Amino acid sequence: MIQHYRLENGGRIDRSGPISFTFNGTRYTGYQGDTVASALIANGVRVVARSFKYHRPRGIMGSGAEEPSALLQLETGAYTVPNVRATQQPLYHDLVASSVNCWPSVNFDVNAVTSRFARILPAGFYYKTFMWPQSFWKNFYEDSIRKAAGLGESPAEGDPEHYDKTFAHCDVLVAGAGPAGIAAALAAGRAGARVILADEQHELGGSLLATRDEIGGEPADGWLQAQLSELQRMPEVRKLPCSTVYGYFDHNCLAIQERLSEGMKPGTYEGPRERLWLVRAKQVVLATGAIERPLIFSNNDRPGVMLASAVTSYIVRYGVRPGDAAVVFTNNDSAYRTALDLHCAGVTVTAVVDARPEAEGEWPSRVRKSGIRIMPGHVVVDVQGTKKVEGARVMALSPNGEAVSGSIQGLRCDLLAVSGGWNPTVHLHAQSGARPKWDDSKASFVPGTAVQAERSAGAANGTFRLGECLSEGFQAGAEAARSAGFGDAGTPDSPETNEPVERPMLPLWLVPGPKAPGRLPKQFVDFQNDTGAADLMLAVREGYRSIEHVKRYTLLGFGTDQGKLGNVNGMAIVAKSLGADISSTGTTTFRPAYTPVTFGSIAGHDVGELFEPIRKTALHQWHEEQGAEFENVGQWKRPWYYPKAGETIHDAVNRECRAVRDSVGIMDASTLGKIEIKGPDSAEFLDRMYINGWKKLGIGRARYGFMLGEDGMVLDDGVTIRLAEDHYFMHTTTGGAATVMKWLERWLQTEWPELKVFLTSVTDHWATAAVVGPRSREVVSEVCNGIDLSREAFPFMASRTGNVAGVPARVNRISFSGELAFEVNVPANYGRQVWEELMEAGKAHGITPYGTETMHVLRAEKGYVIVGQDTDGSVTPMDLGMEGMIAKHKDFIGKRSLFREDCQRPDRKQLVGLLTTNPEIVLPEGGQITTDATVPLPVPMIGHVTSSYFSANLGRSIALALVKGGRERLGERVQVPLRDGRIIGAEITDTVFLDPEGERQNA
């Protein structure tokens, strides 16, 4: 197929072999080095997409990350990727791409009918329209909105690709490999610094890849190749093409998405598709360039309206002409380059329309010498054509830039190249925590005061002339290396450039038209979200004053575009509508990611079985051999129950429960979190962390405690043992171990660094066998040496050391079942040996292994809570009936919140017991509790069931629940409605259902 718009020569493409690809089912050809966008332009494809809201035909407007509309669905099946920018996707053999957000085709989209009603579908119409009638929301509105929402389609099949992650440190990270970035990397590299140079394009060079300028008396490309060769020879410099620095976080941590397979057919390459870099840099140089602003006028989104810099890029870099006849519309000198590039490419330049009243200077002079007409003091107010530009409509601009006058002139063209000035790419600078500042002389936001070890250079710093960009880059690189500790090697000399002086631009945020904006055809500000100038003005009229609120009301700067093209124009329009200046109106928030990042690169290898670690205790194999069923608890595989032949889970649990209460059971408790706490300030530290006191706890004794969050709500609980004057051993819940460890470290490191306390997580170091039941003392005695297990010598909540089965052990008399119990702790490598010795010793007593389900039933019989099940982040110790534990004489985390008025309300949900009227019925956990379930909807709820089981020892069901004012309602009858329509009656009781005096555990 002939590429009608391909230039006969020029560009950085490889013409030696054509590449065939498919777009919307039609085969086209391009060349190695093309993007999908440049190949489509070469083949004369104008309409490539439909707009998000009004489904207007859209073409290619930009040439890089700023492209708002040309979003494509790449490939099919498992390899499909939605919303790929055509301007950033390199071409490869047999590439398959299609348009999104259109039906049945991009050239005929049924939903384009919405554009005819654009005037009655302004910003915010959905907030007002979808409120009434209320019944329509579920039956019509929600379904319709969901079908219309979004652009591309997510893959329905699993991703066959794999991804990688890596971590790196460097002295200087340079983001952007344009002229300033190359210069910065050279200066830092020559100083001996370790440098990472990352750029989002597959070829380093930035704007130098699409310029005819000279550097040092030679073409810019020659200078570029020489510098890249020098960088290649530097062993401490790493070049990362196809790598977007997309996030700047605290402590100079930056995230980079490296696309390793860019330009290759999916499934045809080895290795990972992408790699996520997390880089800690001593110094950062942001050389991310600038993005050209569009001009805002009626129908400025038509296919054929392009950024002037993009037109130059397609001509110079890709060897394609985006049209046959062009009009250039500008308010600054940079677009005159584009006019000359178009002329050199054989494109008829009908006119350069310059909003400035005069067209003087070197660039206009060069354009005139080429025979191109210049129209100073004029603006394009509209374009002709629907699916492509067929002409530009031009009017004279008043001296103050507020109105147009005279008759409309029509200029023939199929390409309209526009330039409204340049916006430094300050996204990463803002993500670092700094605030961009408004520069009137440049009519743009530029980097403000740095708050991290970073500096901006070149166009990213508001410096747009090539020579000044190079000079600033060399200086930034040298300063970064010096700040990183590499001495003062001086700043390299910047080479001479041949660029003429440019005249000041004329800020033009909204081109005036012959009518008010609301009466004109759409003047698009945000092209990706179909936000027009009239929408922004409407938002201000409706009372929005903050630019962040305007953003949310109008969608300005939403989506994958993140306001790259529209935000500054939009802010200026809002500022004028508010009667304020742009500086005080401010910017919206710049958030990571700068461009979209795949979930795959974020996940890396952490998918499938590697999503999270599977933790097994030292006794896991023994449990498997006994046929245990397992459940996942905090990443651990814990025995759930041990079924015998023919037993259901209920049969097995009932048997295990009776064995523990009647004789003896054994449970693997190795998964409980274990933290060693050492240091002279350990007691003080625990006093601050727990609600009860710890300084007077005796050595060899244990205490149960509650840990609160700053909000006064229960965070975790557990038993802590004092092993020595300055040594404690803390137990946490299985699922809360990591959270508690981080919580303790946070306070030690950030709030109380003066405390001399050291923490070590030792959960994996110990194997723990809990021997529980009336016969537990006899069992442990048979294999235990050096410990007197008698009631008098070894009381409840005490800890002793000795030998168990010939292995050094720590034995704790702690019980989570309310039974006489001994927890035998030995080094993990001896866990199975000691376990089997205990099992052998218990044979005569019918020792029975039991799992977590039995443990839950046993603890519920005693009213013991499980944090995270009987609490939900809104429960205080008083709600659990533990107010007696709260120390009045000391401060602790959460104490102030604990005694807020709201936490003292008598109608707070409190932990109570529930006994169903029918003892055979087990209430569903989470079941809502009401005083009368038969009243009309909505039924008032007074609480919910937190734990519910059948107790074989009590011969009936039991439950724990959180009920409003529960302790004042003991004896009250309540109801729990079930999903099948049944209503279960129950009585509110005390939480302890078995052995309320605690005689069993103290035996």
Quick one: CA torsion of 568, 572, 575, 577, rounded to 10 degrees? -130
Residues 381/393, Cβ–Cβ less than 8 Å = yes
- The SS3 assignment for 943 reads strand
Q: How confident is the model over 281-299, as pLDDT tens digits?
A: 999 999 999 999 999 999 9
- Residue 760: the pLDDT is 97
Confidence of residue 120 (pLDDT cuts 50, 70, 90): low
pLDDT value at 57 more than 90: yes
Residue 134, amino acid: Q
Mean pLDDT calculated for residue range 142-157: 78
Q: What is the pLDDT of residue 148?
A: 66
Angle, CA 515 vertex, CA 513 and CA 517 arms, to 5°? 75
- Interaxial angle between packed helices 362-369 and 334-344, expressed in degrees from 0 to 180 and rounded to the nearest 10: 20
The kind and range of the H/E element at 538 are: helix 533-541
Phi, psi of 115 (to 5 degrees): -65, -25
pLDDT of residue 139: 72
d(CA 452, CA 473): 18
Q: pLDDT-derived band of residue 143, with 50, 70 and 90 as boundaries?
A: confident
> pLDDT at position 868, please?
93
More confident residue, 188 or 517: 188
586 pLDDT band, cuts 50/70/90, is confident
State residue 119's pLDDT score: 73
* 985, 917 contact by CB (below 8 A): yes
When pLDDT is averaged across residues 897-901 and rounded to a whole number, the result is 93
The 3-state secondary structure of 681-699, one letter per residue:
CHHHHHHHHECCCCCCCCC
pLDDT of 653 over the 80 cut: yes
Lowest mean pLDDT among 28-32, 334-338, 586-590, 878-882: 586-590
Place of tokens 């050279």: 186
| DSSP category for residue 862 | T
pLDDT (0 to 100) of residue 892 = 96
State yes or no: pLDDT of 226 exceeds 90.
yes
pLDDT above 70: residue 561: yes
pLDDT at res. 375: 97
Phi, psi of 26 (to 5 degrees): -105, 135
Angle between helices 179-190 and 466-483 (to 10 degrees): 30
Is 766 within 8 Å of 825 (Cβ atoms)?
yes
Q: Alpha-carbon distance 689 to 676, whole Å?
A: 15
Question: Per residue in 572-582, is it b (16+ CB within 10 Å) or e — as a string?
Answer: bbbbbbeeeeb
What's the pLDDT tens digit per position in 44-53?
Answer: 999 999 998 8
CA distance 300 to 821: 79
Is the pLDDT assigned to residue 116 strictly greater than 80? no
Q: Residue 608 — left, alpha, or beta (φ > 0 → left; ψ -120 to 50 → alpha)?
A: left
Could you read off the pLDDT of 530-544 as tens digits, one per residue? 999 999 999 999 999
Q: Which of 345, 415, 337 is nearest to 8 (CA)?
A: 345
Neighbours of 556 (CB within 10 A): 26
DSSP state of 592: S
Can you read off the two tokens belonging to residue 512? 């005036």
As a whole number of angstroms, the distance between CA 773 and CA 535 comes to 73
Q: So what's the pLDDT on residue 12?
A: 94
Residue 647: φ, ψ to 5°: -85, 140
Q: How confident is the model at residue 1 (pLDDT cuts 50, 70, 90)?
A: low
H or E element: which one contains 825?
A: strand 821-827
- Tally the residues of the chain: 1003
What is the average pLDDT score of the chain? 94
CA atoms within 13 A of residue 243's CA, in its CB half-sphere: 24
Task: Indicate the SS3 state at residue 419.
Answer: strand
Residue indicated by tokens 């085709």 = 105
List alpha helices for 153-260, DSSP H.
Answer: 179-190, 220-233
Helix (H, G, I), strand (E, B) or coil at 188: helix
CA–CA separation, 945 vs 925, rounded Å?
5
When pLDDT is cut at 50, 70 and 90, the band that residue 103 belongs to is confident
Of the two residues 154 and 331, the one the predictor is more confident about is 331
Given a contact cutoff of 8 angstroms between Cβ atoms, the answer to whether 478 and 187 are in contact is yes
Distance of alpha carbon 139 from alpha carbon 326, whole angstroms: 50
> Where does the pLDDT of residue 123 fall: very low under 50, low under 70, confident under 90, or very high at 90 and above?
confident
DSSP 269-296: S-S-SEEEEEEEEEEEEE---EEEPP--
Least confident of 68-77, 228-237, 761-770, 928-937: 928-937
Q: Could you tell me the pLDDT band of residue 244, with boundaries at 50, 70 and 90?
A: very high
pLDDT at residue 750 tops 80: yes
- Strands 909-916 and 727-732 turn out to be unpaired
The phi, psi pair for 283, rounded to 5°, reads -135, 150
Q: Whole-angstrom distance between the N-terminal and C-terminal Cα of the chain?
A: 93
Closest by Cα among 787, 761, 760, 770 to 831: 770
Q: What is the pLDDT of residue 390?
A: 97
Q: Which of 434, 416, 430, 204 is nearest to 330 (CA)?
A: 416
515 in helix, strand or coil?
coil
Specify the 3-state DSSP secondary structure of 245: strand
Task: Read off the tokens for 409.
Answer: 């002139």
